[in-house]
Amino acid sequence: MRASEDQLKTWMVEGLDGNAASHAALLRALVPVLRAFYRRRVGDGDAIEDIVQETLIAVHTRRISYDRERVFSAWLFAIARYKMIDHFRRTRQTCPIEDVEDILFAAGFEDEANARMDVDQLLAALPEKQARAIRETRIDGHSVADAARTAGISESDVKISVHRGLKALSARIRGERL
Amino acid sequence: MNTDSLIETLARDVGPVPRHAVGRRLLFGLLAGGTVTVLLIAVSLGFRSDLGLAMHGFTFWMKWAYTMSLGFAAIAMVARLARPEPVHLSAFWPVVIPFVLLAIVAIAEMAHVPSGDWLAMWLGQSWKRCPWLVLMLSAPIFAGLLWSFRRLAPTRLRAAGAAAGLAAGAWAATLYCLHCPEVSALFVLTWYSLGILLAAAIGALVGPLVMRW
């Protein structure tokens, strides 16, 4: 079973106070956590145990850099991430692209993906013609003329579809909030 | 070595860590480096002969206020960058405040001096040596901070190197005041700052090489 943030933090703080047993318990509990962290991100399976050990050594030798007032896992994963990037640099390997997202912009990427999903969901509730007109002119940034040409309808038809679609959407959003 | 025996070995060496351990360690590195710098000044440059008298005057304290406030701001940056959690570098903008304040003093000073004397005031007696001396005197302090970093966990090595260089430069300049007899704010603003910035630039350059862990 994975140890919780509270448990890890307690062991860490006791270790900082000089309790060797707690410190050993902490390092042992970190092994599965770190293995899982790297397994998801490092392609090279043979390297994982080495990086885990290096991270444990760093956690041990650089433990004074942990501030007791702060979240333990934030400190731990910052070190784990540093060690992973260092590993990539040493082996001249590049990060798989989906992991770069994960490393650098985990939060922002998630928000963006959620926002897109929300929009898709809303548009799915509209008639196909209106949804398409909104998507092309308001989201993908095409001109009304382009949208009319690709859909094979007149420009005023596109404008009316956008107008009706947006009206229906705002009514729906208001309805949901009320 | 397998992971279990590694953990056993590591857990054999668990000394207590005092609160504010990062600050203590940085202070220790700073003091050790600063001691070497003071000795270097004493041996090779000599303290200014009117030091006791100068310490009763305005300009000496103006110089110290500038270099020390810069030194404290830089050390605050170093302390933040010594911890691994992400940090926005824009949070460090207050470090320019000492520079802006000294610039205001320099402008006020120029207003009281005929413009024909501005060049002499700007160059002083030692403008050619000053930046290089500050840079050289910062080396022991930078080395002291590197020693501090061996137990710390910087993840932005270039920024940490620059901050350590800035701190080393600012504290070297503080100690250099014990030797340097220059009196104008304009001089300090230009030539001291140049030496300090050179130290910061070199720190940024070598940070990723020497701070890697």
Please compute the mean of the pLDDT values over residues B184-202 and round it to a whole number: 95
CB contact under 8 A, A18 and B84: no
CB contact under 8 A, B16 and A16: yes
Rounded percentage of chain A residues whose pLDDT exceeds 90 = 35
CB contact under 8 A, B17 and A81: no
Q: Please list every residue in chain A whose beta carbon sits closer than 8 Å to the beta carbon of residue B153.
A: 58, 62, 65, 78-79, 82
Q: What is the pLDDT of residue B69?
A: 96
The pair of three-digit structure tokens given for residue B10, joined into one six-digit string: 């590591």
Q: Please list every residue in chain B whose beta carbon sits closer than 8 Å to the beta carbon of residue A65.
A: 22, 82-84, 151-153
CB contact under 8 A, A65 and B1: no
pLDDT value at B203 more than 70: yes
- Domain of A41, CATH number, reads 1.10.1740.10
Is A29 contained in some domain?
yes
Interface test with B, best of A35, A65, A88 (most B CBs within 10 A): A65
Please compute the mean of the pLDDT values over residues B175-200 and round it to a whole number: 94
Q: How far is A159 from chain B (nearest CA, A)?
A: 44
Is A113 contained in some domain?
no
Higher pLDDT: A9 or B50? It is A9
pLDDT value at A97 more than 80: no
pLDDT value at A178 more than 50: no
Q: Please list every residue in chain A whose beta carbon sits closer than 8 Å to the beta carbon of residue B87.
A: none
For residue range A126-166, list pLDDT tens digits in order: 888 888 888 888 888 788 888 888 888 888 889 898 889 88
pLDDT value at B192 more than 80: yes
Is A26 contained in some domain?
yes
CA-CA-CA-CA torsion for A127, A128, A132, A133, nearest 10 degrees?
-50
Rounded percentage of chain A residues whose pLDDT exceeds 70 = 83
CB contact under 8 A, A65 and B10: no
Sequence spans of domains, chain B: 25-210
CB contact under 8 A, B10 and A52: no
Helices (H), chain B: 3-11, 21-40, 51-54, 58-81, 97-111, 118-123, 130-149, 157-176, 185-187, 193-210
Is A19 contained in some domain?
yes
Q: What is the pLDDT of residue A28?
A: 93
Q: Name which of A18-32, A111-125, A136-150, B132-146 the model is least confident about.
A: A111-125
Q: Which residue of A has its CA nearest to B208?
A: A86
**Long-range contacts made by residues B57-64, C-beta under 8 angstroms, separation at least 24?**
B59/B183, B59/B184, B59/B185, B60/B177, B62/B102, B62/B105, B62/B185, B62/B188, B63/B177, B63/B180, B63/B188, B63/B192, B64/B174, B64/B177
Q: Name which of A162-166, B70-74, B155-159 the model is least confident about.
A: A162-166
User: Alpha-carbon distance A135 to A54, whole Å?
Assistant: 49
Is A110 contained in some domain?
no
* DSSP string for A140-172: S---HHHHHHHHTS-HHHHHHHHHHHHHHHHHH
Other beta carbons within 10 angstroms of residue A39's beta carbon come to 12
Is A68 contained in some domain?
yes
User: What is the total count of domains within chain A?
Assistant: 2
CB contact under 8 A, B8 and A24: yes
User: Alpha-carbon distance B101 to B189, whole Å?
Assistant: 10
Residue A163, domain extent: 126-177
Same-domain check for residues A10 and A86: yes
User: Alpha-carbon distance B84 to A80, whole Å?
Assistant: 10
Q: Please list every residue in chain B whose beta carbon sits closer than 8 Å to the beta carbon of residue A47.
A: none
Q: How far is A149 from chain B (nearest CA, A)?
A: 47
Q: Tally C-beta pairs within 8 A across A and B.
A: 84
CB contact under 8 A, A67 and B152: no
Please compute the mean of the pLDDT values over residues A81-99 and round it to a whole number: 75
CB contact under 8 A, B153 and A52: no
Is A28 contained in some domain?
yes
For residue range B13-55, list pLDDT tens digits in order: 898 999 899 999 999 999 999 999 999 999 999 888 888 888 8
Q: What is the pLDDT of residue A91?
A: 81
pLDDT band, very low/low/confident/very high, at B62 (cuts 50, 70, 90): very high
pLDDT value at A109 more than 70: no
Is A106 contained in some domain?
no
| HSE, side-chain direction, 13 A CA sphere, residue B161 | 16
CB of A86 within 8 A of CB of B39? no
Q: What is the pLDDT of residue A150?
A: 85
Q: What is the pLDDT of residue B212?
A: 92
For A121, the enclosing helix (H) or strand (E) is: helix A97-124
Residue closest to B177 by CA, chosen among B71, B31, B54: B54
Same-domain check for residues A70 and A141: no
Same-domain check for residues A71 and A148: no
